[in-house]
Structures are given as C-alpha cells and as structure tokens.
C-alpha cells in the first residue's frame, strides 16, 4: 500500500499528462503575466469572442464550479463572492412599495423585484396592477458590473520541467488568474478576481470547440482551439515571478521598473540557456 501511494505521489494531479518526479532533471515554477491587449495576444481577445467572456459564462452557468482565492489551489471561493468582486459600482437602494403611501411623479419603488416609476402625482395604486400610473424601469438601481473586455490581464502559473528521459523542456500550466488592470477600476488599483485550475479550463475549451476559438489574424483557416493555442505557446507573456524563498515578484527585486523589465527578459533567457545546457547532459 505504501509503495502504491508513493507511486501516486510521483504525479502532479494539477498537470495535464504529468511527468513523474523521478523523470525531473530540472524544475522551476514560474508566473507569467499575459496582457490580452497586446497585439500578439489579440487571438484570445477578439471582439465578441474574448476568452474572458467565455470563462465568465462558464462560471456563471456552473460549468466551472471550482473557484480559488489564490494559486495554492487549496482555498476555494464561492460563486457569490466571485460575483460580488465583479461589481464595478454598487447599485442604488430603492425602497419597496408601501400600501397607503402617496407617490408623486418620478418616484421610484421596488415591487416584486421590479423597479417602477410613478407617472403622475398622488399615486396610491399597486404598481403591477396599474400600468396607467406606473412605468416599469428595468435595470434602474442595479449594480454595474465589469465587462469581459475590462478583464484584460491573466496570470499563468506553470511548472517548467526538463524531462531527462525524453531530453526536452516541458511547460505544465497549473492555474490561470483573471485580473482587472488598475486603469479599469475606480480606485486605480489592480483587482485580482479569481484563480482557476488550468486543467479545468483545458477541458472546458476542448468541450466547446465552437466557442473557444483562438483567432489567427492572418489566416482564418488556421484558427485554433484556446487549449491548442496554449499548448503551442501562441501567447506573449512577461515573466512576473519565479519561485524563490521570499516569494518576491521580479519587480520587488530591483530598484526601478525599467531594471525589473530588463531583468524579466534576462531571466527568460536564462531559462532558455538552462534548456540548452541540459541538452548536453
């Protein structure tokens, strides 16, 4: 039983086609920031076919049920908590209609979940029964939600593994975080929304080939499924963080932003150099 358990522990349950640990010659966990507004990433962010819109629909419908607070993938987030984070501006509080109260033109009340506006003065009638006195005003008072196109950042956490048996480097995505940039929030602060298992997203993309479409801007015959586009690395991402004892992002390791940007590119090149050196192993 112990031997069987240790064999199971050789595989990462969050990886697609996991590589057993005894085949790892080199492994490093990295975090990459994907800006969907960048030209190279527009295939994931085509108008009307945004990957963020597709994911939001899956969360709202319950097709993706496992939502997480952070990329440890252990602390779950409720669907209601997620929907609350999607609120851009709180709605107005509109009082319930009260029997016997006299309302005047322009007064707004809520009755059976619907908002009505009084058309005349001295109105006492029941809103749903007096269309001559009351006018339905759908949407009034509702909270304003963030739009899918406002969610333009994604944080991809993945393991970079050199498989010593196959003698090549593999990228094994673990999670994807949806983020609203500070330019879209009222307080100007970046807003992380939710973390999802990449494994769940990969299955979702494959289950909906008619919607999960990465658009090839130069040749629509080469459009691909979102899952295939990730597998083929058809996105451009900047290295945000690599695993380190202090869990610091790269930007916190350097004096200014320019140095951090250059360091991000340098660390990316170091990973490529590492792969080259391991080939010689």
pLDDT given for residue 129 in this prediction: 92
At residue 28, φ and ψ (nearest 5 deg) are: -145, 135
pLDDT given for residue 276 in this prediction: 67
pLDDT values of the chain reduced to their tens digit, one per residue, 281 residues:
334 546 668 899 999 999 999 999 889 999 999 999 999 999 999 999 999 999 999 999 999 999 999 999 999 999 999 999 999 987 778 889 999 999 999 898 989 888 999 999 999 999 999 999 999 987 776 788 999 999 999 999 999 999 988 888 999 999 999 999 999 998 999 999 999 999 999 999 999 999 999 999 999 999 999 999 999 999 999 989 989 898 988 787 776 777 767 777 777 777 777 766 776 65
pLDDT given for residue 7 in this prediction: 67
pLDDT given for residue 4 in this prediction: 52
Q: Which domains does the chain have, with CATH numbers?
A: 12-87+147-279 (no CATH), 91-142 (2.10.10.20)
Say how far apart CA 38 and CA 44 lie, in whole Å. 10
pLDDT given for residue 281 in this prediction: 57
Q: Which of 193, 198, 204, 210 is nearest to 62 (CA)?
A: 204
pLDDT given for residue 269 in this prediction: 76
Q: Is 264 exposed, middle or buried (0-12, 13-18, 19+ CB in 10 A)?
A: buried
Q: Which of 170, 109, 173 is nearest to 141 (CA)?
A: 109
CB 101 within 8 A of CB 124: yes
pLDDT given for residue 1 in this prediction: 39
């Amino acid at each position: 039983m112990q031997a069987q358990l240790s064999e199971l522990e050789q595989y990462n349950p969050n990886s697609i086609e996991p590589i057993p640990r005894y085949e790892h010659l080199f492994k490093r966990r990295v975090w990459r920031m994907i800006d969907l507004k960048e030209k190279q990433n527009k295939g994931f962010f085509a108008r009307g076919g945004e990957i963020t819109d597709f994911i939001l629909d899956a969360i709202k419908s319950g097709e993706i049920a496992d939502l997480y607070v952070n990329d440890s993938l252990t602390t779950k987030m409720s669907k209601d908590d997620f929907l609350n984070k999607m609120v851009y501006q709180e709605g107005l509080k509109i009082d319930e209609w009260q029997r016997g109260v006299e309302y005047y033109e322009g007064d707004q009340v809520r009755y059976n979940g619907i908002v009505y506006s009084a058309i005349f003065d001295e109105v006492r009638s029941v809103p749903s029964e007096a269309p001559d006195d009351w006018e339905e005003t759908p949407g009034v008072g509702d909270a304003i939600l963030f739009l899918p196109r406002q969610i333009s950042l994604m944080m991809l956490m993945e393991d970079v593994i050199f498989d010593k048996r196959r003698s090549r480097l593999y990228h094994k995505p673990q999670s994807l975080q949806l983020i609203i940039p500070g330019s879209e929030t009222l307080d100007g602060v970046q807003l992380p929304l939710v973390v999802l298992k990449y494994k769940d997203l990969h299955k979702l993309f494959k289950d909906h080939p008619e919607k999960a479409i990465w658009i090839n801007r130069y040749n629509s015959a080469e459009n691909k499924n979102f899952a295939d586009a990730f597998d083929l690395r058809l996105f451009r991402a900047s290295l945000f963080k690599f695993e380190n004892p202090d869990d610091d992002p790269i930007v916190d390791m350097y004096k200014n932003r320019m140095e951090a940007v250059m360091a991000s590119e340098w660390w990316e090149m170091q990973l490529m150099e590492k792969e080259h050196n391991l080939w010689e192993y």
